[in-house]
Amino acid sequence: MIVGKPLFTTHQIQNRVQELAGRISHDYAKKELLVVGILKGAFMFFSDLVRNIEVPLTLDFIIASSYMKTQSTGEVKVFYDIRGDISESHVLLVEDIVDTGITLNHIRERVIARGPKSLKICSFLDKRERRIVDVPMDYIGFEIPNEFVVGYGLDYENRFRNLPYISIFKKKA
Ligand code: IMP
């Protein structure tokens, strides 16, 4: 297994996260946000993002899974969902990466069914050329080519999530 050199360094990531948080703070001025991280992959991006957002916020998580090894199963399971009534909330969903769009589309429809005041989506990475389901995205960290990446929360078989940068992952040299 090979983890290549960084596709995005820690420095590039932190700069981009600050830019996104700045835009979000601007767009939600005078509003209160409910920021919802989609776990596990978004945990690092989520925590960097929320500590740079400058409007009042509450937070929660959705724990969902749809991925086996490096292939999407196309099936989404939700193990934990946002608690309580969200009908008065401006919800911002925070995802690690959008690949086929199946996971995010499923989660988006679940959240919309609960009638939030508004819903926007922020994903750290976007693998646009792999998209099967079109999901409206409001904030994107980086667009990437069709490569499997790890680090900064993203895993291969639950490993490499702790790397502070993003690398392309190859199974064999
Ligand atoms: P989608 O449903 O195909 O859009 O897949 C989204 C989920 O697949 C993400 O939340 C990730 O957990 C996982 N995923 C997709 N591409 C990658 C990758 O390159 N590295 C690690 N996980 C990935």
State the DSSP string of 140-164. Answer: EEEE--S--EEBTTB-BTTBSTT-S
Band (pLDDT 50/70/90 cuts) for residue 75 is confident
pLDDT in tens, 110-138: 999 999 999 999 999 999 999 999 999 99
Active-site annotation holder among 85, 99, 126, 134: 99
- Give the sign of the dihedral formed by CA 66, CA 68, CA 69, CA 70: negative
Residues 6 or more apart from 26 whose CB is under 8 A from it? Answer: none
Percent of the chain with pLDDT over 90: 87
Using the predicted structure, report yes or no on whether residue 69 has a pLDDT greater than 50.
no
pLDDT in tens, 146-172: 999 999 999 999 999 999 999 999 877
Using the predicted structure, report yes or no on whether residue 95 has a pLDDT greater than 60.
yes
Tokens of 96: 């690690």
Residue 92's nearest CA partner among 140, 37, 143, 22 is 37
Could you count the other beta carbons within 10 Å of the beta carbon of residue 55?
17
Q: Which domain holds residue 99?
A: 2-170
Q: Output the CA 169–ligand 1 centroid distance in Å.
A: 13
How confident is the model at residue 31, as a pLDDT?
96
Tokens of 108: 């988006």
How confident is the model at residue 102, as a pLDDT?
92
Q: Give ∠ CA 170-151-27 in degrees, rounded to 5.
A: 130
- How many structural domains compose the chain? 1
Band (pLDDT 50/70/90 cuts) for residue 1 is low
How confident is the model at residue 68, as a pLDDT?
55
Which letter, b or e, does each residue of 80-116 get, where b requires 16 or more Cβ atoms within 10 Å of its Cβ?
eebeeebeebbbbbbbbbbbbbbbbbbbbeebeeeeb
Q: What is the CATH number of the domain that holds 79?
A: 3.40.50.2020
Using the predicted structure, report yes or no on whether residue 72 has a pLDDT greater than 60.
no
Please indicate whether residue 155 is annotated as part of the active site.
no
Probe residue for ligand 1, chosen from 94, 99, 107, 169 as the CB with the greatest number of ligand atoms within 8 Å? 99
Residue 116's nearest CA partner among 140, 78, 79, 81 is 81
Tell me the pTM.
0.94
Q: Output the CA 163–ligand 1 centroid distance in Å.
A: 17
How confident is the model at residue 74, as a pLDDT?
66
> CB within 6 Å of ligand 1 — which residues?
41, 66-67, 72, 95-104, 148-150, 154-155
Band (pLDDT 50/70/90 cuts) for residue 65 is confident
N- to C-terminal Cα separation, the chain: 7
* Contact predicate 86/115, CB 8 Å: yes
Q: What's the whole-number mean pLDDT along residues 93-104?
A: 95
